[in-house]
């Protein structure tokens, strides 16, 4: 047991927890004022769902003893055997690791909510998020981090490019397709109502992401420092990457563009944070900002309404990050080389992990959405959508003006 | 009800930045009450474009202020002169003045009507 490691991971868990309300602000500012509470709730309530499901069964499905590389066994159900003592000779209490992962489990389904914002029934959202957490997130976490087949194959995902971002991006695409377009799409009534709120949210996400990425080192050591530095450099440079392409394309530097670029940079560096050197994070950030700017056009090309660009930023950024990890990984950082250091095989492994993640998460999310739709109805009627979900679903207004 | 024909409503569409100046100038000729509204409209001044994640949105209705003043007919010419002096920048978008007849005015507190209620 190591006190510094334990303290660092506990604080990192708190930082990741902060990302949930940060996401609520980020998304909340991007919707119309009549949906600000509904969108806030889509993130905030998942702290509750995660707090219930993760200790109950989620943790053991993800990190219980491996069963054929596919899922964790039920030995740690209701936190059996997860206590103050370290697991497998580690340096932190099993409970600290469980708490850290519990925050990830709350945040990841919340990311999806950007796709179904402004038109989904709250009750259906709760049911879908619960099912998704158990059927999609837990297996993904097991495959990549819990000793599952992707981990055995050597796929690199330091803090959740596949588990968190590609998975939520895939589910977001499924949700946008199943739910259909918002009635306000392309009209003034559908514009963001509070960009400063969104920028504040992006800033707090950035802050929390230090816990997310550096904390994934699970120790207060040089690797954590490397992850914190790469995280910061990528986020900052992605602002510049996004703004440069935006200036070229529209002639303007928007503030929403700067905030979106920062989040894109954070997504792209997530799988790589503990595998690449700082200079590579600069390149990944610049590229990430530019590529995710392109990512937001996917919804127009393929004609679906991913309301707050979860596919364009988390999906595209997640894929890009996973692949670039296979390019820039450097053995001097964490023992694995990528393409650039003479190991093209790693890029292939990363490619397989991308295909496997999308190939599992998208169809299964689609099925879960269809199932929830059959049972509870996903979409609110037009009249309630026009009134706004704050009043029609929650009987409250965000603002009294 | 008795119809007073010697009162007018002057309805002025103004730029946001000229409102204070116009109001002060009107006070100086003894106009003691007005109603201010935030309005949006379009005219010769073109709208602007907003961009959210590359999605362009044409904003055709521009924000303006509307000042409504009911006054005695004799004051209308002076009021218009003062508004023109204080609201004009010379660029498209300075606004418009409408003058309308008013049948009657009643002060709710006392029930007074006509010019006494102004």
DSSP line for chain B: -PPP-SEEEEEEEE-GGGHHHHHHHHHHTT----EEEEEEE-SSS--EEEEETTEEEEE-SEEEEEEEEEEEGGGHHHHHHHHHHHH--SSTT--EEEEEEE---B-TTT--BGGGG-
CA torsion through residues A337, A339, A343, A344, sign: positive
pLDDT for the residue numbered B3? 59
- ipTM beyond cut 0.90: no
Degrees to nearest 5, angle at CA A103 with A99 and A107:
170
> Which pLDDT score, from 0 to 100, does residue A113 have?
98
pLDDT 10s digit of each residue in chain A, 401 long? 899 999 999 999 999 999 999 999 999 999 999 999 999 999 999 999 999 999 999 999 999 999 999 999 999 999 999 999 998 778 999 999 999 999 999 999 999 999 999 999 999 999 999 999 999 999 999 999 999 999 999 999 999 999 999 999 999 999 999 999 999 888 888 899 999 999 999 999 999 999 999 999 999 999 999 999 999 999 999 999 999 999 999 999 999 999 999 999 999 999 999 999 999 999 999 999 999 999 999 999 999 999 999 999 999 999 999 999 999 999 999 999 999 999 999 999 999 999 999 999 999 999 999 999 999 999 999 999 999 999 999 999 999 97
Q: Is A188 on the interface with B (CB under 8 A)?
A: yes
Q: Which of A188, A246, A309 sits opposite B57 (nearest CB)?
A: A188
pLDDT over threshold 80, residue B104: yes
Is A363 an interface residue toward B (CB < 8 Å)? no
Contact of A185 with chain B, judged by CB distance below 8 Å, is answered with no
Residue B2 has pLDDT above 70, yes or no: no
User: Measured between CB atoms, does B58 come within 8 Å of chain A?
Assistant: no
Q: What are phi and psi of B50, to 5 degrees?
A: -110, 150
CB pair distance less than 8 Å for B51 and A252? yes
Q: Is B49 on the interface with A (CB under 8 A)?
A: no
Q: For A58-86, write each residue's pLDDT tens digit.
A: 999 999 999 999 999 999 999 999 999 99
Q: Is residue B60 within 8 angstroms of chain A, CB to CB? A: no
User: Mutation test of the interface with chain B: which of A195, A254, A309, choosing the one with the most B Cβ atoms within 10 A?
Assistant: A254
A244 DSSP β-pair partners: none
Considering only the beta carbons, identify the residue of A186, A188, A296 that sits closest to B54: A296
pLDDT at B25: 93
Q: How far apart are CA B116 and CA B118, in angstroms?
A: 6
Q: In this structure, how many other beta carbons lie within 10 angstroms of the beta carbon of residue B84?
A: 12
Q: Do B53 and A309 touch (CB under 8 A)?
A: yes
Alpha-carbon gap, residue A75 to A78, rounded angstroms: 9
């Amino acid at each position: 047991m190591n006190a510094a490691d334990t303290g660092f991971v506990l604080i990192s868990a708190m930082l990741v927890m902060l990302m949930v309300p940060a996401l609520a602000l980020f998304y909340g500012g991007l919707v119309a004022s009549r949906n600000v509470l509904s969108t806030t709730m889509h993130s905030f309530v998942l702290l509750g769902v995660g707090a219930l499901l993760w200790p109950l069964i989620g943790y053991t499905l993800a990190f219980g003893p491996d069963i054929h590389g596919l899922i964790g066994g039920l030995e740690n159900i209701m936190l059996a055997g997860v206590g103050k003592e370290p697991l497998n000779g580690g340096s932190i209490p099993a409970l600290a690791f469980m708490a850290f992962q519990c925050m990830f489990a709350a945040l990841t389904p919340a990311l999806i909510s950007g796709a179904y914002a402004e038109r989904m029934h709250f009750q259906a959202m709760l049911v879908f998020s619960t099912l998704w957490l158990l059927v999609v997130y837990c297996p993904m976490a097991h495959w990549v981090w819990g000793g599952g087949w992707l981990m055995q194959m050597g796929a690199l995902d330091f803090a959740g490019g596949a588990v968190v971002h590609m998975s939520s991006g895939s589910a977001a695409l499924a949700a946008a397709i199943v739910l259909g377009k918002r009635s306000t799409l392309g009209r003034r009534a559908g514009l963001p109502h509070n960009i400063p709120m969104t920028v504040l949210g992006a800033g707090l996400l950035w802050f929390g992401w230090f816990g997310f990425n550096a904390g994934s080192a699970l120790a207060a050591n040089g690797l954590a420092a490397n992850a914190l530095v790469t995280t910061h450099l990528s986020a900052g440079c992605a602002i510049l990457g996004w703004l440069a392409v935006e200036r070229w394309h529209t002639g303007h530097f928007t503030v929403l563009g700067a905030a979106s670029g920062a989040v894109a940079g954070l997504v792209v560096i997530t799988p790589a944070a503990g595998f690449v050197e700082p200079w590579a994070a600069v390149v990944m950030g610049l590229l990430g900002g530019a590529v995710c700017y392109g990512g937001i056009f996917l919804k127009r090309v393929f004609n679906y309404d991913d309301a707050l660009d979860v596919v364009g930023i988390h999906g595209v950024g997640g894929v890009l990050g996973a692949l670039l990890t296979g390019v820039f990984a450097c053995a001097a950082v964490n023992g694995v080389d990528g393409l650039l250091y003479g190991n093209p095989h790693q890029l292939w492994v990363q490619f397989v992990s991308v295909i496997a993640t999308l190939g599992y998460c998208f169809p299964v999310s689609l099925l879960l959405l269809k199932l929830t739709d059959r049972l509870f109805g996903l979409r609110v009627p037009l009249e309630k959508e026009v009134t706004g979900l704050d009043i029609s679903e929650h009987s409250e207004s965000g603002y009294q003006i | 009800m008795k119809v007073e024909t010697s009162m007018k409503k002057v309805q002025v569409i103004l730029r946001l930045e000229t409102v204070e100046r116009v109001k002060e100038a009107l006070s100086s000729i003894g106009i003691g009450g007005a109603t201010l509204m935030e309005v949006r409209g379009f005219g010769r001044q073109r709208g602007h474009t907003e961009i959210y994640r590359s999605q362009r949105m044409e904003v055709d209705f521009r924000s303006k202020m509307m000042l409504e003043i009911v006054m005695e007919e004799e004051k209308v010419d002076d009021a218009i002169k003062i508004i023109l002096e204080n609201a004009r920048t010379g660029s498209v978008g300075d606004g418009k003045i409408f003058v309308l007849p008013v049948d009657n005015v009643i002060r709710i507190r006392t029930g007074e009507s006509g010019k006494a209620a102004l």
